[in-house]
Structure 1
Amino acid sequence: MQPDDAHPHRKHALTSNRNAEASPRRRALLALAAAAALPFPTARADDDDHAHAHGRTGAPAGKDVLTVVGPWELTGLEPSRSGYMFARMEVAETLLDVDDRGGLRAGLASAWQASADGLQWRFTLAPGRRYHDGSPVTPASVAACLQRAHARPGVLRLADVRDIAASGMDIVFRLGRPFVPLPYLLTHYSTQILAPASFGARGNVAAVIGSGPFRITALSLPQQFDVERVADGGTSGARVRRARYISVARAETRTLLVRSGQADLAFSLDPPSIRALRSNPNVALMSAMLPRTTFIKLNAGHPLLADVRVRQAIALCVERRGIARALLRDPGLGATQLFPRSMAGWHDSTLPPLRTDPAAARRLLDQAGWQVAADGIRQRAGVRMALTLTTFVDRPELPLIAAALQEEMRQVGIAVRVVVGNSSDIPAGHRSGTLQMGLVARNFGNVSDPVATLLDDFGPGGGDWGAMGWRNAQSSGALARLAATQGDADSRRADRATVAATLQAELPVIPVVWYRQVCAASRRIAGASIDPFERSYRLSAVRWA
C-alpha cells in the first residue's frame, strides 16, 4: 500500500535540549509547550511554496477558480502513486464508493454480489457512463484497468484473485479462496478506472482521463493541476466549475494563503496555524475525527526490542495526553489504544487503556537486565541501549512528537537519535531490516473496512506500515477468519476484540495520539465538508457563497 502522504524532504537529525532546571518528567512537555506557543511565522517572498501558490508553476488562478492547498506532491500519474489526489479532486472514480460511516455505496458499479461459496464476485456497471474524452465506460475497459492494478503492488494483492474478466455488463472476479472485504478493496484509489486513451504504447499512464465530475485541464508535476467541471447541462451557476490543487509543503504557508484569500481550502494544518485562523472572519474551520493513529513502529526482531518488556517500558514512558495537549491542543486525542473511537466496531471501550508510568517502565527495564550506567543510559552485557527513531515532515506534528518521545525515553535510560527524512524511509527500512523505530501516522481508513489494511499490517509477514519482526498466531487467525467468512455478529465482534487486545499486550506498534483533521475554508465558498475517509474534497458539492 502507499503511505498516507509522501513527498521528498531533506533528511536531518534532531537532538533535544536538556534543561537542568526542569523536573525530568516534564522536560519534553515544557519544550513542546514552548514550541506550540511560538508566534505564527510569515512566509518569505522567495519561499518556494509561496512561489507555487502564486502561480509560478502555471497561469495565476482566476477569481472563479477554487484553490485547494495541501502538503501532498504528485509523484506521477500512476493510480498507485498519485491516484489519491485524482480521486480527491473528483477526476477519477472507482468501482465502488463509501459513505461517511464506511458503508459501501455505488460508484461506477450499481450492484454487486458474491456467489454462495464466496469464490466469485459480480459487479454490474451502471449504464450510460462516459470518460472525459467522450468514450463509453465499458466492462472491457474497466476489467483492463483492474487487471492492470492487480498486476502491480497494491490492495488487490491482499485477495487471492485468480481472474478478472468482463461478462455482459458485469465485471467478474474469481478468487482462489473467499475474501469478504473484496468490495472494499475496489474503493481504494489504486483501483481507479481510467479511459483506454490514458495509457501509452508501453502500458504506462500517459494522461489521467477519468469519469468523475471534474476533468484535468492542466497539470504541472509535482506541484499543481487544474480541473474543470464536466458539462452536464444541469449545474447551478453558483456551483464551482473550475478548481486548482497546489502542493505547499509548509503548514504556515498554507495558512498564509487562506488568510490572504489566495486559497479557498487548506488541509493538514498544524496547531499554530489553527490558532492563527480561529479569529479570522474570512475563514471557517471544519474538523472531523479520522480513523488515523500516530504510533511508534518497532522492529520487534531487533536485539534491543525483541523483549516485550522493553516494548512495554517504552509504552509506559509515553506522555500521550501531554503530547496531545501541548501539540494538538486536544488532550482527548491521547491514544489509549491503537484504534480510535472513530473506528466503530474496532475501538474496544473495555480494553485496559495504555497509561503513563515511568517508574513502572524503569522496573521493567531492570527486570530485562538493562542497568543504568554512569551517563544515565542503560547497558546490558556491554551493549548500550541506543536506538534511532525515524520520521518525516509530511505531517508537521511528527518531528515535534518525535522530540518529545526522545526526551521521554531518555528519562528511563534509553538513548534515542531522531532522524527526520522522507516518508519512503519507513517502508524502505522495513524491507531492508534496518529500521529500528519509526514514528508514523497510519490511516486505517485507506480501505473503509480495516480488515484488509490490518491483514497487510499485522498478518504473518507484517507490513511496511505495521508490524516488523513480530508474529502472533492468535491475532493472525482472527484476521484470517474476518477476511474469509461473513460469520455471525458475535463471532466477528470476538475476533475484532482479539486483534485489539493482542496488539495492546504485545505492542508491535505503540500508539501515541489519534488524529483530528482540521480544514480551513474561505468564506467565499459554501457547502464544504470533510470526508472522514479522505477520499474526496467534495468539490462537486461546493458553491460560491
Structure 2
Amino acid sequence: MRPLKYPLLVVMTLAGLSSPVLAEDTIDVAAPFEIQSAEPSTSGHIFLRMGITETLVDADPDGTLLAGLATAWNVSEDGLTWRFDLREGVLFHDGTDLTPEAVANALDIARAKPGPIATLPISAIAAETGVVTITLTEPQSALPAYLAESRTQILAPAAYGPDGQAVAVIGTGPYAITDLRPPLSLHATAFADYWGAQPHVSNVTYSAVSRVETRALLAESGDADFVFNLDPASVTRLAQSAAVQVLSVAIPRTLMLKVNSAHPFFDTVEARQALSLAIDSAGIAQAVLRYPDGADQLFPPAMGGWHNPDLEPLHYDAEAARELLADLGWEPGADGILTRNGQRFALTLTTYPDRPELPLVAAVLEQQLRGVGIEVTINSTNSSEIPSGHQAGTLELGLIARNFALIPDPIGTVLSDFAPGGDWGAMGWHNDEIVELAQTLARGEGGDAERARITTILQTELPVIPVAWYQQTLAVRAGFEGAVIDPWERDFGLPAMRLVK
C-alpha cells in the first residue's frame, strides 16, 4: 500500500500572551459523541481517543502501521496465517496480565459483532506462548490495519458479561477509568502500571456536548481545555481569541451525499449525474465550510494513490442537470418542482447534527436542488438513522461525513462501502468489477491501476456524490503545549499534552 500523505501536524502556541490559571492535573475534553455504553462496538472510538484502551496495531499520521500491543507480526507464504507477537509486561487496569488468551478472547468477541473485522474471512484466532495466531480462508494483506480499528481494542476478560457485551472498560492504556456515566461523561486517571511513558497530566475528563455553539463557548470561557469538532463560524471567532489555540488539518474524510440508487428517481446513472451537476460544491466549501475548494472526486488529494488526478472533475452545471432530467421525462410543475407520471420529484434528505456543518450544508443543498426542480425536506436526526434507513431500504438521500481512515488502509473502507456495500456506503447499487478489483487489492495484489479503475467507476456511476473534502478542527486552551490532530481520528493525544512552564 502506498502510504497516505498529510500536511505536517502543526502545534500552535501563543507566545508572549498571558495565560489563564490552569489546573495542572486535569485535561477537560468536550466532543459531540455520546458514550452509549462500555461496549467497544458502539463507543470504543471514545475510549481509544481518550487513551483508555489500546489495539494490537497503531498508526502514525502518515498511515504507517506501528507496534501497539503487538510488537511485530508476520504472515505465512500463502497469506493465510498471521502471527502477532505480544508486548511483554503489559497489565490491564484491573491488574491482570495481557495474555494471548485474553487477546484472542477480545478479538473473537469483536468479530462476532458489527464492524470491519466481522467482514474478514477469519477461520480461527488462537493463543500460543506470547503469540496470537489468526488464520484466514483467503489472503487479506490489510489484516494488521484492521487490528488498528477502534472496535478491535483489547479489553480484559473481566470487562465482558456472559453474552459478550462489555460491562466495564478495562483496558491497557495510559489512563484508567474511575467514573463512567453514559451517555455524557467519564473521568480517568493515569495508570501507574502503564507499560509505556506516563502522561504529563494525571487526570482527564470527557463530556459529550452535542451543540457546537456550546462547545465553542466552553473553549472560549476556559471551561474545557480540549474541544473537538468545531463549526466554521466558531473557528473564525476562536482564532481571534487569546484564550485558545485553534488547530486544523486535512483528514481522509469526505462530506458526501449518499444516494439510494434503487429509488425510482435515482436508478439510472443519468439521474445521479444530474444530481451531481446540480450541486455547487465549490460554493458550499468556500461560503459555508470556509474550505478553499469543493470535492471534484470522492477521495481527497491527501489519500495518496486513491486520489486520481486523471479523472475528469465533477463540476457544477445546473442547466446540464435540467437537460438530463428532462431527457428522463421530468417536467416542471406550476410551482417549479419536477413531475413525472403524476409524481413530484420530492425527497427527504437525512443528516445529523453531530457534525455541526452537516445541517448547514443540507440547507444549502435544499436551495440548490430546488433550483433544478427537486424538492428536498431535511430530516436532521440521530446519525444512527443513516445505517438503519439503509438497512430498511427507506433512506432516500443521506448527507454524511464518511471517514476513510476508520482502518489505516483505505481498502478496508472501500470494501465495506462498495464491495458489496455496507450501511454507510453505496445503497441499492452493485458493481461486480469493483468487487473483484477491491478483493484483488485486499489480497495484496495489484496497485495503482486497480485503484485508478475503482475511482473511475465511482466517478462515472456516482453511487455516492462527493461535496467537500474535510478539515478537522479543535481548540486547545492557551497554556497547553503538545496538542496535535491525528488524521486517523484514533487518538486525542492527551498523554503528550503538558502545561507550558
TM-score bucket (shorter structure): over 0.9
Letter in 2 for 1:397: E
How many angstroms apart in 2 are the aligned matches of 1:257 and 1:221? 20
Supply the distance in 2 between the matched residues of 1:541 and 1:237 (Cα, whole angstroms). Answer: 9
Give the C-alpha shift of residue 62 in structure 1.
5.6
The correspondence of residues 214-233 of structure 1 with structure 2, limited to 5 A, is 214-231=175-192
Aligned equivalent of 2:12: none
Alignment partner of 1:301 is 2:262: yes
Pairs within 5 Å for 1:148-297? 148-231=109-192, 239-297=200-258
Does residue 532 in structure 1 map to residue 487 in structure 2?
Answer: yes
Deviations 1:136-183 (A, max 9, x none): 100011111011111112111221111001011111111111111111
Q: Deviations over 1:30-71 (max 9, x none)?
A: xxxxxxxxxxxxxxxxxxxxxxxxxxxxxxx96531101011
**1:138 maps to amino acid:** T
Count of residues in Structure 1 that have an aligned counterpart in Structure 2: 479
- Answer yes or no: is 1:517 the counterpart of 2:472: yes
TM-score under structure 1 length normalisation: 0.86
In 1, are the aligned partners of 2:248 and 2:485 still within 8 Å (CA)? Answer: yes
> Residue 340 of structure 1 aligns with which residue?
300
**TM-score normalised per structure 2:** 0.93
Cα separation, partners in 2 of 1:167 and 1:409, compared to 1, 3 Å:
same
**DSSP 3-state at the match of 2:368:** helix
Letter in 2 for 1:69: A
Corresponding residue SS for 2:302: coil
Contact 1:158–1:452, Cα closer than 8 Å, also in 2: no
Q: Tell me if structure 2 keeps the 8 A contact 1:76–1:222.
A: yes
Kindly indicate whether the alpha-carbon contact (under 8 Å) linking 2:91 and 2:195 is maintained by their aligned counterparts in 1: no
Alignment RMSD (CA, Å): 1.7
Partner of 1:464: 423
Judged with a 3 Å threshold, the aligned counterparts in structure 2 of structure 1 residues 451 and 237 are, in CA distance, closer, same or farther, namely closer
Q: Aligned partners of 2:130, 2:194: CA distance in 1, in Å?
A: 27
Q: Residue 500 of structure 1 aligns with which residue?
A: 455
The residue aligned with 1:450 is 410
The one-letter code matched in structure 2 to 1:199 is Y
Q: For residue 8 of structure 1, what is the aligned residue in structure 2?
A: none
Residues 480-509 of structure 1: CA distance to partner in whole angstroms, max 9, x if unpaired? 11112x23xxx4101101111111100000
Which residue of 341, 345, 357 maps to 1:397? 357
Deviation at 1:233, TM superposition (A): 9.6
Shift of 1:201: 4.3
Amino acid at match of 2:408: S
* CA distances 1:176-219 after superposition (whole Å, capped 9, x unpaired): 11111111110011110011221234443221111111111111
- Of 351, 357, 369 in structure 1, the residue corresponding to residue 311 of structure 2 is 351
Higher mean displacement: 223-232 or 339-348: 223-232
Tell me how far 1:331 sits from its aligned partner.
2.7
CA distance in 2: counterparts of 1:381 and 1:441, whole angstroms: 34
Do residues 542 (structure 1) and 497 (structure 2) align? yes
Moved more, 448-457 or 230-239: 230-239
Compare 234-243 and 419-428 and name the one that shifted more.
234-243
The 1:137–1:313 alpha-carbon spacing in structure 2 relative to 1, beyond 3 Å, is same
2-side partners of 1:388 and 1:179: how far apart? 38
Query: Of the candidates 428, 435, 453, which is equivalent to residue 476 of structure 1?
Result: 435
Aligned residue in 1 for 2:8: none
Task: Answer yes or no: is 1:376 the counterpart of 2:336.
Answer: yes
Shift of 1:404: 0.9
Q: Which amino acid aligns with 1:258?
A: A
Unpaired runs of at least 5, structure 2? 1-21
State how far apart, in whole Å, the 2-side matches of 1:110 and 1:482 are.
Answer: 25
Q: Which whole-Å CA distance do the structure 1 matches of 2:76 and 2:196 have between them?
A: 40
Which whole-Å CA distance do the structure 2 matches of 1:214 and 1:522 have between them? 21
AA aligned to 1:147 is D
Where in structure 2 are the equivalents of 1:418-457 lying within 5 Å?
A: 418-457=378-417
CA deviation after TM superposition for structure 1 residue 477, in Å: 1.4
Distance 1:267 1:97, change over 3 A: same
Q: Secondary structure at the match of 1:90?
A: coil
CA distance in 2, matches of 1:237, 1:116: 39
Shift of 1:468: 0.6
Structure 1: runs of 5+ lacking an equivalent: 1-60
Does residue 367 (structure 1) correspond to residue 331 (structure 2)? The answer is no
Q: Which amino acid aligns with 1:86?
A: F
Q: Are the structure 2 counterparts of residues 238 and 427 from structure 1 closer, same or farther at C-alpha, using a change threshold of 3 Å?
A: closer
Q: Please say which of residues 234-243 and 91-100 is displaced more in the overlay.
A: 234-243
Which residue identity is paired with 1:527?
A: G
2:13 maps to which residue?
none
Partner Cα separation in structure 2 for residue 98 and residue 476 of structure 1: 26
Cα distance in structure 1, aligned partners of 2:476 and 2:126: 43
Name the amino acid aligned to 1:433.
G
The equivalent residue for 1:108 is 69
Shift in Å at residue 253 of structure 1?
Answer: 1.0
User: How far, CA to CA, are the matches of 1:123 and 1:233 in structure 2?
Assistant: 21
Contact 2:48 2:490 (8 Å CA) reproduced = yes
- Closer/same/farther in 2, CA of residues 74 and 353 from structure 1, 3 Å limit: same
Matched-pair contact (CA < 8 Å) for 2:41–2:115 = yes
Q: Which amino acid aligns with 2:146?
A: L
Q: Does the Cα contact within 8 Å between 2:198 and 2:495 map onto a contact in 1? A: no
Amino acid corresponding to residue 544 of structure 1 in structure 2: L
- Judged with a 3 Å threshold, the aligned counterparts in structure 2 of structure 1 residues 237 and 407 are, in CA distance, closer, same or farther, namely closer
